[in-house]
């Protein structure tokens, strides 16, 4: 080292210092980033394991001193009780205070959310895969116009659909049914599914079609036996996006559902937040349940989601 001479040595030292500075800067930036993203979530989870007594301490206990699972227990083993005006007003002292008897509605709501989300996913695939194939691989008049039309429906604000949907659903007698949600969620999910799949099919070589044709495949067979197996990443992305959109949707569900028969998880959770007699530790437990599936999906399938979200962002 010393033999390298003064110039070489200082250059090396400067390089080394620069490298260390860069690592330090990246560490600090990463820490800030992780804090920004996780701190609110950690606090949500931490307070969901606290009792009403602990959650109201000042300053807050960042980590529960006496962790309890009573909030989750109330959800998973909710005793059947009649809700009367009095028990509601009295903050449900029978259930140990501040935990609503309506906690029992959470699991059925979760089941409703699942049924809706899975149905929406299946319908999305059935409708979007053939359409995307036609748009990507068949030359026909009106193709560009179709692409624009589908993309246009993607940007209709859901709040603008609420009034007509409500009257439409009411006239069909579908208010307070899961069907009303499944139908209307198609409006919010299908355009994006078509977009992702079209984008992906476009990237597959046209020769596939011709080869399959030579082997005597029909268009439908080509799609099912050649394109679908080759497009699994895009199909997975479509499944995830449609699932998340349905699982998270709030506005339409708020309008069309009225009873626990059809209320989805976000609706039940939201109904807790506007009741001042309910402990926030319990509300947070409900929130934790609502975010578990999306968080798992985000962490496990990050690659598929990122490719879907950024599809077409830079190719132009």
Partner 1 sequence: MTQAAVLARRRERLPFSHDERRAWLFLAPVATTLLVVAVFPIVYSLYISFWSIKLTRPHRQPFVGLDNYAQLLADPEFWHAVGRTTSFTVMAVTAICVIGLAVALLLNETFPGRKALQALLLVPWAIPYVANGLMWKWIYDSSYGALNGLLFQLDFIDKYMVWLGDANKTLPLIANAFVWKEVPLAALLLLVTLKSIPADLYAAARVDGAGALQRFLHVTLPALRPGFMLVIIYETMTAIRHFDLFFILTEGGPGDASHVLSWRIYVETFRNLSFGTGAAMSYILAIVTFALAYGVIRALGRNVR
Which residues ranging from 6 to 25 are in contact with partner 1 (CB under 8 A)?
23
- Report the alpha-carbon distance of residue 160 to residue 169 in Å, rounded: 15
For partner 1, the closer CB: 87 or 127:
127
Peptide bond into 59 cis (omega under 30): yes
CA-based nearest residue to 61, from 46, 76, 72: 46
Cβ nearer to partner 1, comparing 83 with 138 = 138
- Which CB atom, from 93 or from 312, has the smaller least distance to partner 1? 312
**151 near partner 1, rule: CB under 8 A:** yes
Count of H helices and E strands in the chain?
16, 0
Q: Could you say which residues in the range 233-272 bind partner 1, by CB under 8 A?
A: 244, 247-248, 250-251, 254-255, 265-266, 269-270, 272
CB of 68 to partner 1, least distance (A): 17
Subset of 25-44 contacting partner 1 (CB under 8 A): 26, 29-30, 33-34, 36-38, 40-41, 43-44
Does residue 186 contact residue 249 with C-beta atoms inside 8 Å?
no
Contact 233, 197 (CB under 8 A): no
Q: Which stretch in 7-15, 72-80, 189-197, 231-239 sits in contact with partner 1 by CB under 8 A?
A: 189-197
Q: Could you say which residues in the range 82-111 bind partner 1, by CB under 8 A?
A: none
Secondary structure letter of residue 305 according to DSSP = H
* Number of amino acids touching partner 1 (CB under 8 A): 109
Residue 159 is a binding residue for partner 1 (CB under 8 A)? yes
| Of 12, 20, 53, 213, the one binding partner 1 by CB under 8 A | 213
Contact 260, 107 (CB under 8 A): no
Burial of 286 (0-12, 13-18, 19+ CB in 10 A): buried
Distance CA 162, CA 72 (A): 34
Q: How far is the CB of 160 from partner 1 (least distance, A)?
A: 4
């Amino acid at each position: 080292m010393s033999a390298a001479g003064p110039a070489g040595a200082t250059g090396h030292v400067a390089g080394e210092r620069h490298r260390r500075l860069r690592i330090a800067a990246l560490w600090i930036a990463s820490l800030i980033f992780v804090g920004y993203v996780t701190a609110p979530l950690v606090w949500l989870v931490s307070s969901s394991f606290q009792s009403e007594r602990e959650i109201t301490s000042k300053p807050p206990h960042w980590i529960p001193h006496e962790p309890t699972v009573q909030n989750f227990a109330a959800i998973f083993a909710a005793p059947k009780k009649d809700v009367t005006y009095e028990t509601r007003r009295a903050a449900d002292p029978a259930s140990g205070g501040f935990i609503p008897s309506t906690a029992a509605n959470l699991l059925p709501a979760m089941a409703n959310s699942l049924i809706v989300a899975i149905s929406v996913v299946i319908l999305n695939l059935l409708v979007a895969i053939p359409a995307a194939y036609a748009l990507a691989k068949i030359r026909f008049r009106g193709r560009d116009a179709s692409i624009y039309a589908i993309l246009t429906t993607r940007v209709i604000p859901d709040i603008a659909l609420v009034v007509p949907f409500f009257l439409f659903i009411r006239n069909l007698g579908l208010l307070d049914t899961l069907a009303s949600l499944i139908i209307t969620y198609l409006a919010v999910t299908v355009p994006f599914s078509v977009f992702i799949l079209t984008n992906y099919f476009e990237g597959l070589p046209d020769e596939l079609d011709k080869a399959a044709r030579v082997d005597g495949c029909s268009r439908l067979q080509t799609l099912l036996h050649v394109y679908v197996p080759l497009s699994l990443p895009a199909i997975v992305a479509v499944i995830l996006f449609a699932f998340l959109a349905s699982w998270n949707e709030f506005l339409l569900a708020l309008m069309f559902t009225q009873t626990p028969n059809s209320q989805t998880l976000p609706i039940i959770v939201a109904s807790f937040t506007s009741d001042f007699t309910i402990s926030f530790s319990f509300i947070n437990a409900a929130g934790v349940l609502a975010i578990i599936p999306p968080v798992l999906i985000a962490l496990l399938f990050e690659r598929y989601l990122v490719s879907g979200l950024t599809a077409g962002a830079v190719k132009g």
